[in-house]
């Protein structure tokens, strides 16, 4: 045990304490993402004190909510040994259908909450269906999740382009005015998207750690055969993870639509990769069997924070956002693997 | 003498598995090597084929001593072994496999044409229809075996070692293989043939050697030796005091489980049996006889094409293991690490995984879960080293107890145990035997699948024996002895047809 502690490069005292109390090392694997987040925050303050401004922080968290909510869904999928590449395209497709539906409902119900609630309902329904399709094709068709969701990604992406006729779908102005507060409004000084993000994270945490469903995700992701021999309905649980992912995408879309009031073929591009990146930075293993909701939340915030910090400084071009994100992802995973090697079997 | 072994000994750590074994192989003979699981057959042939080195003793080829450091060196001498699990690259073609690792080249490039020609010649010599350009994945098991043999022939094989070649073959495929062995014999190849199936050995062997517990107990020409005699020689030791006495069964013990006319595609052709309350029903037979497939089909883990299951006299349908759990049937898999336990999960979660419902109201109550785990640790005497957090860090015996704790968490009335003592130490074996006795004392019924004869005989009230997918017989009382089981397991007695007519 002492050698593990000696090798432990993290300065986090809490981590060391956990090791001695519980008798096993959780060091970087658990606390790494949080340490990195704090470090990145400190860097932000050093670069520009405006970083800590309330407006800036609020703005940053609000922006991270989209990816964050989707990434929480992805945490379940990945923990259970799956993968969903279709989420970005799915979000664009749902946004497109939602806008078309609400625009057409305006004639019947007028520009009011009825129209918006129907749009929201349709969005959730679409998300669940899309997830169900991903899940059922993966499990019953016995096709790799990568391939299935690569396929559905292409389908949704082209469908939204088709619906918008290659251009942009725009939400009715009157509806947009009413819907606007869902993105721009706030409650107790915290914006609505952040509240939703928080709620999804809390529910996700409970689901993953305190329900049979969550435990089964871990078991399936670790070893599907063992799960089968433990009387777990493997296909059912896996399909449910994709459906949960669909719901998360729908929720993210619901708060995304009032932001711009439009959708096009360029909506949600690369969101799937950002979501997966957030999950991986957070310490969930890509091959499944180990997932952490709070890590994912931190990962999503970190990704947005990088862009934000680059915005606040002239030292590095904003165009290098992707470069910095890429480096951080690789370093984060390297550190986790390094600690895994020391403590693992 | 083509290939000889003189006073070969081999130990693994402190455990000696071969004791002064001699063996002589002549050109053009089929030499059968017999013995129970763990008798040392595999160790012996691995030494001959260069996969293992002897602790002492000599290997001679045509009278001169050899010290093989790798299987490649043995192959250079023409000594080739075909493995029990075929070792072919599935996605490559037949010819690519035949020349794998020793490709013919022309300058920098592969000489595909020459390789194809030589592959075709080798396959033609074996009189098979296998296409050299076919992918190995698409071939049947027997054709794959032909490819293995073709691979050996292109290496100018002089001694061919076959480890249980018929374990995965159908009857037809077996006769094809035997015809091939015959042709190889005529070419002057010496064949060392390992098998449990006495009937086959009687059919093809010229010479036979029997090993028991690492010692050579008999060697000589097959002519003049009977199957029954060989079976006795293979097992011929008394069962020790390892096993607790059986629970006394009342005459009117009700039947708790009945399986009728079960058929599992590709594994079980016909099987029917009953299980009574408080009874231990042993399942004997060689690996691949269909015992595991039968039980898994009963439990809903495998698809069956026909058959009926009755629980307490009522027909039940079990399509998923969860249905079996509802019927209070627990299953202890033989594959602890692959199917039984999640190696990188903590111990507590492993124990409660099967019956997690009991700890959900509706959220998982971690405190209760921990209590259940602690109780299990005590009940099953799981010895936890302080550092062990995941299953992978436990010893085999403790893993087995953990698995036992896991399946017992559903409080079953029927416990099906598959190879309960594989790879575990004697002390834990003893504990598991006594645990089985406790189970039957408390009114549970047990199905025990085991490849260890001693276990079957020492623990079972009755023993069902399977051979090649057919339940060939159910032995009772005095009938339960090693020779009898061996005869049913190798298909000498109780041919499947009789069973089907009566059943």
Q: B272 in a domain, yes or no? A: yes
* pLDDT given for residue B455 in this prediction: 85
Q: How many CB atoms lie within 10 A of CB B478?
A: 7
Residues B361 and B492 in one domain: no
Is A222–B341 a contact, with Cβ atoms under 8 angstroms apart? no
| A229 CB within 8 Å of a chain B CB | yes
Residues B440 and B309 in one domain: yes
Confidence of residue A75 (pLDDT cuts 50, 70, 90): very high
Is B342–A222 a contact, with Cβ atoms under 8 angstroms apart? yes
| A21 CB within 8 Å of a chain B CB | no
CATH of the domain at B109: 3.40.50.300
User: Which residues of B fall within a CB distance of 8 Å from A230?
Assistant: 321, 353-354, 406
Is A229–B342 a contact, with Cβ atoms under 8 angstroms apart? no
CA closest to B339 among chain A residues: A226
Q: B457 in a domain, yes or no? A: yes
Q: Give dist(CA B436, CA A160) in Å, integer.
A: 63
Question: Which of B210, B235, B260 is the last residue before a domain boundary?
Answer: B235
Question: Which of B392, B411, B430 is the last residue before a domain boundary?
Answer: B411
Q: Count the residues in chain A.
A: 345
Choose the weakest-confidence range: A267-276, A307-316, B24-33, B356-365. A307-316
Residues B398 and B454 in one domain: no
Spatial neighbors of B400 by CB under 8 A, at least 6 apart, are B336, B420, B421, B424, B428, B432
* Domain made up of A50-343: CATH architecture: Orthogonal Bundle (1.10)
Give me the mean pLDDT over the A286-305 stretch: 90
Q: B240 in a domain, yes or no? A: no
| A285 CB within 8 Å of a chain B CB | no
Residues A29-73 pLDDT 10s: 677 778 888 888 888 888 888 788 888 888 889 989 999 999 999
Spatial neighbors of B292 by CB under 8 A, at least 6 apart, are B334, B418, B449
Spatial neighbors of B149 by CB under 8 A, at least 6 apart, are B82, B126, B160, B180, B184
Residues B26 and B108 in one domain: yes
The widest CA-to-CA distance across chain B, in whole angstroms, is 80
pLDDT tens sequence for chain B (503 residues): 889 999 999 887 666 788 999 999 999 999 999 877 667 888 899 899 998 899 999 999 888 888 888 888 888 888 988 876 667 888 888 888 888 877 888 888 888 888 888 888 888 877 778 888 888 888 877 788 888 888 887 877 899 998 877 766 666 777 878 888 898 899 889 999 987 677 788 889 999 999 887 889 888 898 888 877 887 787 665 444 568 888 888 888 899 999 999 999 988 888 999 999 989 999 988 777 888 999 999 999 998 888 899 999 899 999 999 999 999 999 998 888 888 898 888 888 899 999 888 888 888 888 888 888 888 888 888 877 555 677 877 777 788 888 989 999 898 999 999 888 776 666 677 788 888 998 999 989 999 998 778 888 888 999 999 988 888 888 888 888 888 888 888 877 776 544 443 43
Residues B100 and B183 in one domain: yes
Residues B298 and B352 in one domain: no
| Domain that includes residue B396, residue range | 341-411
Long-range contacts of range A202-206, CB-CB < 8 Å, 24 or more positions apart? A204/A72, A204/A73, A204/A75, A204/A76, A204/A293, A205/A293, A205/A294, A206/B363
Is B349–A290 a contact, with Cβ atoms under 8 angstroms apart? no
* pLDDT given for residue B445 in this prediction: 93
Residues B473 and B399 in one domain: no
User: Could you give the 3-state DSSP secondary structure of residue A74?
Assistant: helix
Mutate to test the interface with B, among A2, A203, A228, A230 (most CBs of B within 10 A): A230
Give me the mean pLDDT over the A196-221 stretch: 93
Q: B86 in a domain, yes or no? A: yes
* pLDDT given for residue B338 in this prediction: 84
* pLDDT given for residue B236 in this prediction: 65
User: Which residues of A fall within a CB distance of 8 Å from B341?
Assistant: 226
Confidence of residue A106 (pLDDT cuts 50, 70, 90): confident
- Cβ pairs bridging A and B (under 8 Å): 79
Structure-token pair, residue B77 = 């001498």
Is A290–B344 a contact, with Cβ atoms under 8 angstroms apart? yes
How many domains, chain B? 3
* pLDDT given for residue B146 in this prediction: 80
Q: B334 in a domain, yes or no? A: no
User: Which residues of A fall within a CB distance of 8 Å from B387?
Assistant: 1, 23-24
User: Can you give the three-state secondary structure of A313-340, one letter per residue?
Assistant: CCCCCHHHHHHHHHHHHHHHHHHHHHHH
User: Could you give the 3-state DSSP secondary structure of residue B134?
Assistant: coil
Q: Give dist(CA A55, CA B34) in Å, integer.
A: 82
Structure-token pair, residue B343 = 């190696």
| B393 CB within 8 Å of a chain A CB | yes
Structure-token pair, residue A167 = 């251009």
How far is CA B91 from each of CA B88, B110, B136, B189, B227, rounded to the nearest angstrom?
A: 9, 18, 6, 30, 41
Is B339–A290 a contact, with Cβ atoms under 8 angstroms apart? no
Residue A53 or A203, more confident = A203
A21 to chain B, minimum CA–CA distance in Å? 12
Contact B57, B178 (CB under 8 A): no
User: Which residues of B fall within a CB distance of 8 Å from A206?
Assistant: 363
* pLDDT given for residue A73 in this prediction: 95
Query: Is ipTM beyond 0.85?
Result: no
């Amino acid at each position: 045990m002492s050698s593990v502690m000696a090798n432990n490069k993290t300065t986090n005292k809490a981590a060391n304490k956990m090791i001695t109390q519980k008798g096993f090392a959780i060091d970087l694997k658990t606390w790494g993402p949080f340490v990195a987040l704090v470090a990145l925050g400190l860097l932000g303050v050093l670069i520009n004190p405006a970083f800590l401004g309330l407006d800036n922080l609020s703005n940053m968290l609000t922006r991270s909510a989209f990816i964050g909510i989707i990434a929480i869904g992805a945490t379940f999928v990945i923990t259970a040994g799956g993968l969903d590449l279709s989420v970005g395209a799915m979000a664009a497709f749902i946004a497109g259908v939602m806008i078309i539906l609400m625009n057409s409902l305006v004639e019947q119900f007028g520009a009011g909450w009825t129209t918006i609630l129907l749009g929201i309902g349709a969005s959730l329904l679409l998300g669940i269906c899309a997830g169900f399709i991903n899940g059922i094709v993966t499990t019953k068709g016995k096709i790799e999740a990568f391939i299935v969701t690569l396929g559905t990604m292409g389908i949704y992406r082209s469908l939204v382009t088709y619906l918008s006729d290659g251009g942009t779908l725009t939400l009715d102005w009157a509806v947009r005015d009413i819907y606007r507060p869902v993105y721009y409004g706030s409650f107790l000084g915290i914006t609505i998207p952040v509240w939703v993000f928080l709620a999804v994270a809390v529910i996700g945490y409970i689901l993953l750690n305190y329900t049979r469903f969550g435990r089964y995700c871990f078991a399936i992701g670790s070893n599907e055969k063992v799960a089968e021999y433990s009387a777990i309905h493997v296909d059912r649980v896996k399909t449910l993870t994709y459906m949960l992912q669909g719901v998360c995408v729908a929720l993210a879309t619901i708060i995304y639509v009032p932001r711009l009031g439009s959708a096009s073929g360029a909506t949600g591009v690369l969101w799937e990769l950002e979501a997966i990146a957030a999950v991986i930075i957070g310490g969930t293993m890509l091959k499944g069997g180990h997932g952490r909701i709070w890590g994912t939340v931190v990962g999503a915030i970190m990704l947005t924070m990088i862009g934000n910090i680059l915005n606040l400084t002239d030292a590095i071009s904003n165009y290098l956002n992707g470069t910095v994100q890429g480096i951080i992802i690789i370093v984060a995973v390297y550190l986790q693997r390094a600690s895994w090697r020391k403590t693992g079997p | 003498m083509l290939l000889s072994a003189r006073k070969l000994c081999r130990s693994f750590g402190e455990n000696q598995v071969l004791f002064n074994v001699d063996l002589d192989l002549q050109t053009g003979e089929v030499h059968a090597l017999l013995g129970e699981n763990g008798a040392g057959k595999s160790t012996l042939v691995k030494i001959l084929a260069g996969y293992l080195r002897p602790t002492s003793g000599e290997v001679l080829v045509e009278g001169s001593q050899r010290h093989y450091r790798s299987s490649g060196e043995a192959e250079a001498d023409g000594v080739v072994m075909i493995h029990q699990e075929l070792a072919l690259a599935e996605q490559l073609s037949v010819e690519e496999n035949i020349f794998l690792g020793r490709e013919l080249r022309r300058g920098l490039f592969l000489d595909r044409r020459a390789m194809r020609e030589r592959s075709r010649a080798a396959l033609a010599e074996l009189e098979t229809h296998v296409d050299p350009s076919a992918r190995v994945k698409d071939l049947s098991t027997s054709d794959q075996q032909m490819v293995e043999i073709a691979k050996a022939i292109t290496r100018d094989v002089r001694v061919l070692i076959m480890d249980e070649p018929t374990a995965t073959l159908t009857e037809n495929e077996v006769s094809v293989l035997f015809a091939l062995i015959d042709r190889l014999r005529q070419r002057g190849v010496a064949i060392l043939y390992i098998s449990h199936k006495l009937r086959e050995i009687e059919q093809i062997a010229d010479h036979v050697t029997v090993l028991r517990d690492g010692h050579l107990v008999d060697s000589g020409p097959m002519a003049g030796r009977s199957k029954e005699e060989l079976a006795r020689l293979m097992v011929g030791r008394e069962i020790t005091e390892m096993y607790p006495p059986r629970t006394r069964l009342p005459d009117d013990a009700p039947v708790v489980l009945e399986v009728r006319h079960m058929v599992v595609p590709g594994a079980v052709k016909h099987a029917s049996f009953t299980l009574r309350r408080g009874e231990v029903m042993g399942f004997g037979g060689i690996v691949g006889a269909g015992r595991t497939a039968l039980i898994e089909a009963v439990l809903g883990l495998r698809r069956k094409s026909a058959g009926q299951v009755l629980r307490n006299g009522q027909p039940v349908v079990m399509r998923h293991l969860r249905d079996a759990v509802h019927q209070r049937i627990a299953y202890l898999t033989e594959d602890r690490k692959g199917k039984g336990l999640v190696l990188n999960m903590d111990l507590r979660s492993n124990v409660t995984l099967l019956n997690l419902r009991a700890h959900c109201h509706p959220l998982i109550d971690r405190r209760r879960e921990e209590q259940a785990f602690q109780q299990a640790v005590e009940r099953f005497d799981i010895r936890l080293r302080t550092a062990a957090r995941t299953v992978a860090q436990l010893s085999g015996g403790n893993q087995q107890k953990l698995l036992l704790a896991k399946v017992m968490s559903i409080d079953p009335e029927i416990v099906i145990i598959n190879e309960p003592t594989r790879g575990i130490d004697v002390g834990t074996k003893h504990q598991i035997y006594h645990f089985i006795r406790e189970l039957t004392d408390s009114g549970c019924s047990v199905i025990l699948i085991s490849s260890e004869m001693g276990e079957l005989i020492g623990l079972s009230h009755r023993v069902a024996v399977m051979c090649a997918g057919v339940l060939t017989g159910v032995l009772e009382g005095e009938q339960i002895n090693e020779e009898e089981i061996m005869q049913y397991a190798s298909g000498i007695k109780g041919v499947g047809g009789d069973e089907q007519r009566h059943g």
